[in-house]
Structure 1
């Protein structure tokens, strides 16, 4: 699986970091963005989805709310259950899914 670092947009006018990307900054209304690596983050909450409508024979899906070092909260998938307070690295795969990987 090919993975790259997740990039977080940051407003050049006021410095607000947002995720997902937006056309205009929710704080100042500017449309001037720079990108920075999300880097790691800390798990704030996590859950597991065991039953999905339309899923045939699918396995559990682990999800976590991760406070990125860049600032915003990112919802990410994981291969295993994550604990609150655990530090992770945020990456994006070739299918454009955000993943939290243990450090």
Structure 2
């Protein structure tokens, strides 16, 4: 599944998640844009979770999409900051970034 962001048809501001009104111009007219890739801004790893022993690490990153908005995504493995990634939305509505 693809990641969709919204773009104001009046002023062009692109946002994620969707909003009712544009914070820049106040318009309520939006168009959806599909985002397929972005760049890792920062990443981290969660090694321990409450109540779970020996759980596998979870890699997370803030990703600036090619359309502009920043999203938090799950990584399949550790990647360096600045890496190009492909963005997907899985069935559980989790945004996943895959290194290109």
What is the TM-score of this pair, normalised by structure 2? 0.91
Q: Which residue of 1 aligns with 2:44?
A: 47
Greater mean alpha carbon deviation, residues 55-64 or residues 72-81: 55-64
How far apart, in 1, do the equivalents of 2:20 and 2:55 lie?
Answer: 35
Instruction: For residue 57 of structure 1, report the CA deviation from its aligned partner.
Output: 4.5
1:98 to 75, 90, 95: 95
Q: Which residue of 2 aligns with 1:38?
A: 35
Q: Which residue of 1 aligns with 2:60?
A: 63
- Number of equivalenced pairs: 100
How far apart, in 2, do the equivalents of 1:55 and 1:22 lie?
Answer: 36
Q: Which runs of 4+ in 1 moved over 3 A?
A: 54-57
Gap runs ≥5 in structure 1: none
2:13 to 11, 16, 34: 16
Gap runs ≥5 in structure 2: none
What is the TM-score of this pair, normalised by structure 1? 0.89
